[in-house]
Amino acid sequence: MSAALAISAVGLTKRFGATRALDDVTLAVPSGASVGVVGENGAGKTTLFSLMAGFLRPTRGAITVLGRPAGDASLAGRVSILPQDAQLLRHVPLGVQLEFHGRLLGMDAPAARREVARVLELVDLQGAAVREPQVLSHGTYKRAALAQALLGEPEITLLDEPTAGLDPAAARRVRDLLRDLRGRRTLLVSSHNLTELEDLCSSIAILNRGKLVESATLAHLLERETCLTVTLDGGANVDADVIAALAGVREARLSERSGELRLTVTLEPQADVAQAQIALVRALADRGCVPRSLVRGRPLEDKVIEVV
Amino acid sequence: MRTRGARLVLAFDLRCALRSARGILFLVFYGLTTWWFLSKLAEHRESIEAFARPSGMKRAAALRLVAMLIGDDGTLVRLLSAHPPILVFYAQFALITLPLFVMTGAFDQTATDLSTRHLRFLLLKTTRASVFAGRLAGAYVLVATPPAIVTLAWGIASGDAAWGARVALAVAALALPLVALLALLNAATASAAITLLAVTSWQLVVWLASTVLAIADERFASLAYLFPTAIEPMLLDPSPARFALGLGAALGYAAAFAAAGWWIFRRRDV
């Protein structure tokens, strides 16, 4: 079983004094998967990543990474992480630190220097090698920390809020980078940006107060084969009953949020999603409604709010 | 353990230390203090050499006080008769002040890395053993090399290179358990400040307990062995057997402290 699993956690519990940061979490991450980890602040995301990386020892339960106990010496170089709250050495130039990291990964000095140049370019920090981390802005610091997680060829990369604090252009560049890594290594990404996770991940794990409350593929979780979500202007003239009467539609619900209308259409299990989509757009057009957006499935945000 | 990882950590640690406030403070502090003491020794060379004569030992009270730290009268007489007195006095200075210098240069091995979680950047690239051993070795090289070199050089300058080499070895040996003790406290407390406070308190309490309680009962004097500086007299003893015992004890202390530190470090959350 574990041969095809990148990460396997069984009954994982971590306590900090009286606080139960993670509570009986059982999770399996297949090799090559890209998994988004979602939850409110304090839900246990960082604790879960820290247990996977071997930084923390479980209070109870077990966790294996690439078939070895998390933190095992044999995992050095095979797993990388962007930790959320770790600090680089303040007074040592970034390039010197990254070169040291590269050498720890087994590279010789020239190879490590080339690798540093490569990863700094990936995060758009070509000129930052000579700068000390203490003078970097938050966003630049974050990208520098991300660069160290990209060194070498790890089989698993854990990214704890990789785009938090980045400006939109930098965040997009990081997303592009992660999209490129997807499928070539196992990726676990925690983020509060649910749109980003929908874009990047094939599976989602939702944590709430230390418990894993949902873990499934994104398609299954968001009912992408059985649900359509349409966003319309607030004043749109839509009748849910008319939509519910369309072929292949089981249920249609209208809700209003922040001045816009949301139409959630649940399809019959055997319905052709593409045909239903076309019929829905036509029905809306007949009533003079132009959708702002139409997506297959339900928004991840709704699902998360529903389960936490 | 990957020895390559430990060697890289050692080299990087030394490189950083020599460019950091900690490393520079240590070198300046050590250099100035040693320079001051050596200049005083040179200035009072004649008095010290006069003191070394049996008749002189009774007259120079201040020098006698310093010389008493070397050990009993028999040891003192044998040392002063066999080696240049100026070198004997320097040897005592080197060993007595060593804990202070070691604390200055080696008090922060893994503590700040633990408190800032910097270790999280390293531990998936190398092993905990490499980090612990590399940092310990880096701190040891930083704090033991300058005193050992100066001692050896002073021995050569004083005309007794062999004794200078032996004292340099004694200095290097005594530094080892002290650095290992700091590694243990770093791993246990994850705080450089608490490490300094703890090691200073430990030394003070052991010294007070072993000296004050020994007034009531001499057997309490052996409490001094709860801190590794108790082996200083062995390391200066002219007897090769006692010297070897001192070296063995230094290694024993170092092994015990390092093992305890590693036991904590490998299990602790970082």
Residue bearing the bigger pLDDT, A168 or B62: A168
Inter-chain CB proximity B117 and A57 less than 8 Å: no
Inter-chain CB proximity B269 and A86 less than 8 Å: no
**Closest approach of B188 to chain A, Cα-based (Å):** 15
Tens-place pLDDT, residues B160-175 = 899 899 999 999 999 9
CA distance A40 to B30: 52
- Residue A27 token pair: 């999770």
Nearest residue to A104 via CA among A151, A160, A66, A72: A151
- Residues A212/A35, Cβ–Cβ less than 8 Å: no
Return the pLDDT at B15: 93
**Closest approach of A176 to chain B, Cα-based (Å):** 23
With 50 as the cut, is the pLDDT of residue B58 above it?
Answer: yes
Inter-chain CB proximity A55 and B5 less than 8 Å: no
Q: Name the residue facing A55 among B5, B123, B129 (closest C-beta).
A: B123
Q: What is the chain A residue with the closest CA to B16?
A: A92
Return the pLDDT at B105: 93
- Residues A145/A86, Cβ–Cβ less than 8 Å: yes
Return the pLDDT at A1: 44
**Closest approach of A12 to chain B, Cα-based (Å):** 15
- Residues B199/B111, Cβ–Cβ less than 8 Å: no
- Residues A248/A274, Cβ–Cβ less than 8 Å: no
Q: What is the CA radius of gyration of chain B?
A: 20
**Per-residue pLDDT averaged across A231-258, rounded?**
87
Task: Find the angle CA(A273)-CA(A278)-CA(A284) to the nearest 5 degrees.
Answer: 120
CA distance A173 to A179: 10
Q: In Å, how far from its chain's centre is CA A284? A: 33
Q: In Å, how far from its chain's centre is CA A12? A: 20
**Per-residue pLDDT averaged across A60-78, rounded?**
95
Inter-chain CB proximity B123 and A88 less than 8 Å: no
- Residues B80/B88, Cβ–Cβ less than 8 Å: yes
Tens-place pLDDT, residues A164-186 = 988 999 899 999 999 999 988 99
Q: What is the chain B residue with the closest CA to A56?
A: B269
Q: Across chain B, what does the average pLDDT equal?
A: 89
Inter-chain CB proximity A81 and B125 less than 8 Å: no
- Residues A228/A281, Cβ–Cβ less than 8 Å: no
CA distance A249 to A263: 13
Q: In terms of DSSP bridges, do strands A156-160 and A186-190 run parallel, antiparallel, or are they unpaired? A: parallel
Q: Does A81 contact B at CB distance below 8 Å?
A: yes
Number of Cβ atoms within 10 Å of the Cβ of A102: 24
Q: What is the CA radius of gyration of chain A?
A: 22
- Residues A198/A218, Cβ–Cβ less than 8 Å: yes
A-chain CB neighbours of B122 within 8 Å are: 101, 104
B-chain CB neighbours of A107 within 8 Å are: none
Inter-chain CB proximity A100 and B116 less than 8 Å: no
Between the alpha carbon of residue A222 and those of residues B52, B102, B190, the distances in Å are: 91, 61, 45
ipTM of the complex: 0.87
> Residue A48's pLDDT band (boundaries 50, 70, 90)?
very high
Number of Cβ atoms within 10 Å of the Cβ of A269: 9
CA distance A87 to B224: 40
Q: Is the pTM of this model over 0.80?
A: yes
**Closest approach of A275 to chain B, Cα-based (Å):** 49
Tell me the backbone φ, ψ of residue A298, rounded to 5 degrees: -100, 155
Inter-chain CB proximity B124 and A148 less than 8 Å: no
- Residues A4/A64, Cβ–Cβ less than 8 Å: no
Inter-chain CB proximity B19 and A91 less than 8 Å: yes
Q: Does A262 contact B at CB distance below 8 Å?
A: no
E runs forming strands in A40-164: 60-65, 68-69, 79-82, 156-160
With 50 as the cut, is the pLDDT of residue B79 above it?
Answer: yes
- Residues B107/B73, Cβ–Cβ less than 8 Å: no
Inter-chain CB proximity B8 and A104 less than 8 Å: yes
Nearest residue to A43 via CA among A17, A12, A20, A10: A20
Nearest residue to B236 via CA among B39, B41, B82, B112: B82
Q: Name the residue facing A89 among B2, B118, B267 (closest C-beta).
A: B118
Q: Does B12 contact A at CB distance below 8 Å?
A: yes
Helix (H) or strand (E) holding A186: strand A186-190
**Per-residue pLDDT averaged across B68-92, rounded?**
76
Between the alpha carbon of residue A17 and those of residues A20, A59, A204, B58, B189, the distances in Å are: 8, 11, 29, 63, 17
Count of helices and strands (H, E) across chain B: 14, 0
B-chain CB neighbours of A93 within 8 Å are: none
Residues 84..143 of B with a Cβ closer than 8 Å to A: which?
116-130
Nearest residue to A27 via CA among A17, A35, A16: A35
- Residues A90/A35, Cβ–Cβ less than 8 Å: no
A157 has which bridge partners? A80, A187
Q: Does B263 contact A at CB distance below 8 Å?
A: no
Question: What letter does residue A185 receive in the DSSP assignment?
Answer: B
Sign of CA dihedral A272, A273, A274, A275: positive
Question: What letter does residue A146 receive in the DSSP assignment?
Answer: H
> Residue B60's pLDDT band (boundaries 50, 70, 90)?
low
Q: Which amino acid is at B117?
A: R
Count of helices and strands (H, E) across chain A: 10, 14
Q: Does A112 contact B at CB distance below 8 Å?
A: no
Q: Which amino acid is at B211?
A: T
CA distance B223 to B229: 12
Q: Does A109 contact B at CB distance below 8 Å?
A: no
With 80 as the cut, is the pLDDT of residue B62 above it?
Answer: no
Inter-chain CB proximity B129 and A77 less than 8 Å: no
Q: Name the residue facing A55 among B125, B129, B270 (closest C-beta).
A: B270
Q: Does B266 contact A at CB distance below 8 Å?
A: no
Three-state DSSP at A222 gives coil
B-chain CB neighbours of A55 within 8 Å are: 119-120, 123, 269-270
CA distance A20 to A233: 44
B-chain CB neighbours of A144 within 8 Å are: none
Return the pLDDT at A85: 86
With 90 as the cut, is the pLDDT of residue B57 above it?
Answer: no
- Residue B60 token pair: 């120079």
Inter-chain CB proximity B8 and A101 less than 8 Å: no
A-chain CB neighbours of B262 within 8 Å are: none
Q: What is the chain B residue with the closest CA to A153?
A: B125
Task: Find the angle CA(B10)-CA(B12)-CA(B17) to the nearest 5 degrees.
Answer: 95
Number of Cβ atoms within 10 Å of the Cβ of B191: 17
Q: Which of B71-75, B129-133, B189-193 has the lowest mean pLDDT?
A: B71-75
Number of residues written out for chain B? 270
> Residue A250's pLDDT band (boundaries 50, 70, 90)?
very high
B-chain CB neighbours of A77 within 8 Å are: 124-125
